[in-house]
A = this chain, B = another copy of it.
Amino acid sequence: MTRLFADPSRFSEDQLRGFAAAYSEHVTRVPGGVVRTRPLRPGQVAVVVGGGSGHYPAFSGLVGSGLAAGAVVGNIFTSPSSRQAESVARAADAGGGVLYCFGNYAGDRMNFGMAQARLRDAGIDTRTVLVTDDVASAPAERSGERRGIAGDFTVFKVAGAAAEEGLGLDAVEAAARHANAATYSFGIAFAGCTMPGADAPLFTVPDGKMAIGLGIHGEPGVEDADMADAPAIARILVDRLLAERPATAGTRVAAILNGLGATKYEELFLLWGHVAEALAAAGLTVVRPEVGELVTSLDMAACSLTLMWLDEDLERWWCAPADAPGFRRLPLPEAPAQPRALPEAVLEAQVAAGDESSRGAAATVLAALRALQAALHDAAAELGRIDAVAGDGDHGRGMTKGVDAAVRAAERAGSRGAGARSLLSAAADAWADEAGGTSGVLWGVGLRALAQELGDTGPVDGVRVAAGARAALDAVTSLGGAKPGDKTLVDALAPLVDAFTAGVGRREDPVAAFELASAEASAAAESTAALTPRLGRARPLAERSVGTPDAGALSLALCARTVAGLFAK
Contacts and interface: CB of A to CB of B under 8 A. Distances in A.
Interface stretch (A70-78, A411-419, A494-502): A70-78
Interface stretch (A212-220, A240-248, A363-371): A212-220
A95 interface: no
Given A21-B276, A22-B276, A393 B202 contact: yes
A441 B261 contact: no
B219 A392 contact: yes
Contact of A342 (B30, B230, B393): B30
Q: Tell me the number of copies of this protein.
A: 2
Interface string A10-36: 011011111101100100101100010
A184 interface: no
Nearest to A103: B545
Interface in A540-555: 540-542, 544-547
30 contacts: A1-B190, A2-B264, A6-B229, A6-B274, A9-B401, A15-B269, A18-B269, A18-B271, A18-B274, A31-B344, A37-B339, A38-B337, A52-B436, A52-B437, A75-B435, A78-B394, A81-B435, A82-B444, A83-B432, A84-B433, A87-B346, A87-B347, A110-B479, A114-B479, A138-B540, A195-B394, A196-B267, A215-B545, A220-B537, A263-B299
Main secondary structure of the interface of A (DSSP, over half): mixed
Given A263-B4, A435-B81, A393 B198 contact: yes
Interface in A206-258: 213, 215, 217-220, 222-223, 227, 229-231, 233, 257
Interface stretch (A154-162, A328-336, A506-514): A328-336
A111 B290 CA distance: 33
Contacts of A90: 346
A174 interface: no
A151 interface: no
Interface string A264-293: 111111111110100000000000111100
Contacts of A480: 106, 110
Given A11-B266, A296-B265, A393-B218, A1 B346 contact: no
A413 B241 CA distance: 54
Given A21-B273, A267-B5, A438 B110 contact: yes
Contact of A340 (B31, B53, B91, B444): B91
Contact of A11 (B4, B52, B261, B270): B270
